Chains A and B, each alone.
Chain A
Amino acid sequence: MWDSLLRKLRQYPSAILTAQDSSGYAYSVRCIPEPDRKRQALKITLPEYVEMQPGPAGLLCHYHDDLLWNQTNFVLRGTLEHEAGQWIFRPLTLVEGAGAGMNLIRQIRDGRQSAKLYLAKHGVKRPAIPWSKLAAIYKRARSG
């Protein structure tokens, strides 16, 4: 995972680090993770005021263009540690998100499968999509 993670990280100028604060709510900041190859961890420099608690944490990298298209993203699940004034994020799992090519095919396949399971589990008939009403909203939104 480490090499794949490094390749992906290099594609983004910054990342969003999220951990819980003392009240249990998520607290996020933008940061620039620095890979520590030896420890297979990411060193993260944060301002002192940041209210994050060491423990489970997540790291998101994402991109979209000006027209909210060509989206790419991925998430790292891991843990956040604070030692000797330095924050360390230890990645445990890499979760693929949006992307082109095979990623897009995977997203569509998985989305269809998850939706089918959700409907079956909740005993809900597959709803018809009001395509014409959505098209009318699209037209209004684009002409506004």
Chain B
Amino acid sequence: MAQFDIPQEVEAVFHEFRTTEFTTIARDGTPITWPITAVYRPVPGEFLAATSIGLPQKAFNLRRNPRAALFFSEPRGSGLSNPPAVLVQGDANVAEKITTLEGIEDLWAKIFRFQPAAKQTSSGPLMHYLMDWYYMRIPLVISPRRIMWWPNGDFSHKPLELSHVG
């Protein structure tokens, strides 16, 4: 059972959107947003992301300021018809230890399900040499505090909202 009540169409977005636009706050206060793939875990109601140690700035930012946001606004490839756009604001816990597999198996499964060409970055000695850093990850667990969604992805109207989630 989910830890908070969200409409089915919102949960479908969490599971099926190929990317979420993930924001961390830089030292100077600038919100920095990059597309990533994250896993939604209905129990205990959190999101798992993991940044490569080759791109560690997200983790550095979150260690300094745990406020994070996941914005789901790109439905391409999701197979969903007129899905809502969703913004999740929450607090991130950044793992101290890096991992390549343990604890993020569901994230790799999701990436591989969505991205058949991922095989190109994990096959053969040359790609193993060039791309091993991509598989060295710092897990980021985001606990939502506020969830807003725009039915049909229409930003002209105020979003619906579930606040005080966490």
The chain A residues found within 8 Å of chain B, CB to CB, are 16, 18-20, 24-30, 47, 49, 55-58, 60, 62, 64-69, 71, 73, 75, 77-78, 97, 108, 110-116, 118-119, 124, 126-131, 133-135, 137-138, 140-142, 144
Complex interface bits, B84-128 against A, C-beta within 8 A gives 1, otherwise 0: 010101000000001011000100111111111111001000001
The chain B residues found within 8 Å of chain A, CB to CB, are 18-19, 21, 23-26, 28-35, 37, 52-56, 67-69, 71, 73-74, 76-77, 85, 87, 89, 98, 100-101, 105, 108-119, 122, 128, 130-136, 145-146, 153, 155-158
Contacts of A16 in B (CB 8 A): 21, 33, 71, 73
Contact among A64, A68, A137 with B105 in the assembled complex (CB-CB below 8 Å): A137
How many A-B contacts at CB < 8 Å in the complex? Answer: 176
Closest Cβ of chain A to B145, distance in Å, is 8
Could you jot down 7 A-B contacts, CB within 8 Å?
A: A20-B29, A26-B68, A64-B19, A118-B54, A134-B122, A134-B135, A141-B112
Is the CB–CB distance between B87 and A56 below 8 Å?
Answer: no
Is the CB–CB distance between B135 and A20 below 8 Å?
Answer: no
Given that A68-B18, A68-B77, A131-B128 are contacting pairs, would A144 and B113 also be in contact in the complex, using a CB cutoff of 8 Å?
Answer: yes
Is the CB–CB distance between B128 and A26 below 8 Å?
Answer: no
Contacts of A26 in B (CB 8 A): 23-25, 31, 33, 67-69, 89
